[in-house]
């Protein structure tokens, strides 16, 4: 198995159809984070505290990344708020502003959000690295944004 297949297999273990949100329409970063965290909570992947903590963490440690013309964010919180590891993925109908991970004063319009809920610090770091590898492909990112179905997105992540 090559390194890419290993990366995708691992991400596939954390992501599923119920946590994919296509053409999600929200009005603000906080609404977006709250929505995604509540979905993770509803599925019992995270506890109630995760919702508040992921919003607080994003304010202190922004996660926005500019990948050419596409904005990606990877919000997450501490492992103690996670019951069962998962990754939620949202493709936004309209971009929402996040601050840059690299420059906390720079605003990036975000199109794609990976919300991590991982219960082990080493797994979280590995998953962040894997997602970074995935989003380095502009073509894959564009295909995720243009996907019509959740199945298409799962296929793209698996390929």
Q: What is the CATH number of the domain that holds 51?
A: 3.40.930.10
Q: Mapping DSSP to helix (H, G, I), strand (E, B) and coil, where does residue 66 land? A: strand
Q: Average model confidence (pLDDT) for the chain?
A: 91
Q: How many domains does the chain have?
A: 1
Tokens read off for 88: 């939620």
Pair 73, 98: CB distance under 8 Å: yes
Query: Which among 132, 59, 130 has a CA at the least distance from the CA of 97?
Result: 59
Q: What is the pLDDT of residue 89?
A: 97
The whole domain housing 93 covers 3-158
Q: What is the pLDDT of residue 128?
A: 87
- What confidence tens digit (pLDDT) does each residue in 66-79 have? 998 999 999 999 89
29 has a pLDDT exceeding 90: yes
State the distance between the two ends of the chain, measured CA to CA, in whole angstroms: 13
Q: What is the pLDDT of residue 82?
A: 96
């Amino acid at each position: 198995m090559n390194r890419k297949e290993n990366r995708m297999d691992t991400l596939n273990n954390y992501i599923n159809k119920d946590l994919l949100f296509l053409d999600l329409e929200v009005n603000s970063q906080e609404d977006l984070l709250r929505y995604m965290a509540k979905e993770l909570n509803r599925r019992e992947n995270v506890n109630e505290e995760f919702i508040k903590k992921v919003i607080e963490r994003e304010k202190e440690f922004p996660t926005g990344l500019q990948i050419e013309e596409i904005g990606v964010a990877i919000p997450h919180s501490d492992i103690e708020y996670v019951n069962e590891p998962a990754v939620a993925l949202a493709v936004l109908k309209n971009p929402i502003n996040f601050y840059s991970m690299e420059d906390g004063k720079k605003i990036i319009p975000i199109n794609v959000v990976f919300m991590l809920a991982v219960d082990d610090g080493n797994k979280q770091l590995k998953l962040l690295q894997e997602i970074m590898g995935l989003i380095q492909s502009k073509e894959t990112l564009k295909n995720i944004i243009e996907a019509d179905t959740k199945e298409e997105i799962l296929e793209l992540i698996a390929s």
